[in-house]
Amino acid sequence: MRAVVKNSIGIFYPQGFIDGANARNFLAPADIKATTSLKINMLLVSLKKVVFFNKNGMDILIGLLGECKKDNSSISLGFCDYDDSKFTTMMKFFKDNYSISLFRTAEVAGLFGPSTSDNKEKNILVYSDDPSQRNAITIELHEHGYNPISTLTREEFNVKRQSEETFYEIVNNTHLGLFGKKIGTRVVGNAIIYSIDGFLDAKMNDIFDMTYHHNSLSVGFTLFVFDMNKVIAMNVHGVNFFSHLASAGAEFGATIAIVGLSFDKTPRTFQEELEDGGVIFFEKLEDLLDNKEIMDELGGDESSIKHSKKSLTKIIVNELPNFISATVTTLEMMTSTKAVKESAAVQKIAIDSTEDKLASSIGFYGDIDGMMILIFPRTIAKRACELLLGEVSDKTEELLDTLAEFVNIIAGRLKSLLAEKRIAINITLPRTYEKINTLINSISEQKGVQVNLTFKGERFTFFLTR
């Protein structure tokens, strides 16, 4: 069976039943190789003509699709063209599979592929039962230049869908997996979690984004956790990779932690060697994340951070309007309040009061590099939390999680604005601060552009630095 290729997306269209007995008949390795040779960004299997499937059959298809990763590690894999029932079944099958994405239709999948058109005026209605997925979809659509309209409840989604408002596309029953990332990455508290699987050998140097990791260090992350529950084994090349990573992070005071690695097929001496190099081990992820004392000590919550003393470049200053636009537009949209600009100056960061405020920072790198810091009054954070979570919350942990999602959306919008000027950047995961003195003290001697804004009389601070 040959795939249909359009706009850098290849789609296979199997028919009938997919089970363990016949799944291999639908995707021949030669056909997959022929498709990926066309330099596609996404490879999908359409379920439009599939009457029935079971987990064995789908697992075989995923395994066959995964073979293309050997030639193109950044390609996105998944399924499309299914109804509500099939989506529910696949979510049960693949909820823990970071590598698979699910798109309700091939047209929805196309929204996340390469685009050369102007998408600013294209409104996309978005809903997901999973808040993290809803936010991830919103961010991705922002990055692709669309105007996503996120709905918090199914009732709100249904009302908008049935209204007279015109939407370019409706995105629901869609699930984003790694979506082009080489290794699954997420942030919990202020710890970055990398999720990896398979056999760890010299390929780690190819699939691990070292530039991203170094920029995360620069932003201030000091705890990096490798979730290895799905790792089969590791050889000496894998050990050398982690030893180098631990050594390189030492100057930042960073810690490498490995959780869930079984040594049934890996020599125990490897663990001893890594422990001698400063790597720490935990049996379960919750053993680390739920231990507040250890998280505090390792910087997973609050810790001192080190930043470079590089000066702002002319190109960053010239693009300041885009930084401000991405921030203000998103804040106004998410809080339903109008921003008033009070002042802007190149200076060291200056905050009149740190009480009842929370902060978040996010790094960017590529054609330009630096760090954006946002300091929120707690009331604005609560308003954002109400919008993203659909309920009012005063719990600091939930507010900080919301700010992280909030800053992600802002950074995604910034990425799109800069791309229009042919300035390409990537972004790190955001870091949050409950006690902003931790952040302020770390950059107190560093100059940047500070812009003070007010939302209904409450001051919000934007600070751009390197």
Distance CA 45, CA 41 (A): 14
The model's pLDDT over 175-199, given as tens digits with 9 standing for 90+, comes to 987 544 456 677 777 788 888 877 8
Write down the pLDDT at residue 180.
40
Look at the block and give the residue holding tokens 């998280």: 295
Taking alpha carbons only, the member of 64, 3, 5 closest to residue 14 is 3
The model's pLDDT over 381-414, given as tens digits with 9 standing for 90+, comes to 887 777 666 667 788 888 888 888 788 888 888 8
Domain architecture of the chain: domains with CATH: 4-171 (3.30.750.24), 184-298 (3.30.750.24), 314-465 (3.40.1550.10)
What phi and psi values does residue 361 have, to the nearest 5 degrees?
-130, 150
CA angle 345, 424, 430 (to 5 degrees): 65
Report the chain (466 residues): mean pLDDT per 10 consecutive residues: 88 93 89 85 93 91 81 80 93 74 94 75 89 74 81 90 91 77 67 83 83 80 88 87 91 89 78 90 88 78 51 82 88 79 89 87 88 89 72 80 82 83 85 83 83 88 90
Q: Which two tokens stand for residue 149?
A: 């309209």
User: Which is it for strands 123-126 and 147-150: parallel, antiparallel or unpaired?
Assistant: parallel
Exposed/middle/buried for residue 407 (C-beta within 10 Å: 0-12, 13-18, 19+): buried
Distance CA 320, CA 317 (A): 5
Write down the pLDDT at residue 73.
62
Exposed/middle/buried for residue 280 (C-beta within 10 Å: 0-12, 13-18, 19+): middle
Taking alpha carbons only, the member of 302, 320, 306, 339 closest to residue 448 is 320
The answer to whether 183 touches 230, Cβ cutoff 8 Å, is: no
Write down the pLDDT at residue 452.
92
Neighbours of 118 (CB within 10 A): 9
- DSSP letter for 175, please: B
**Beta partners for residue 224, in sequence order:** 192, 256
Write down the pLDDT at residue 244.
92
Angle between helices 396-419 and 131-143 (to 10 degrees): 20
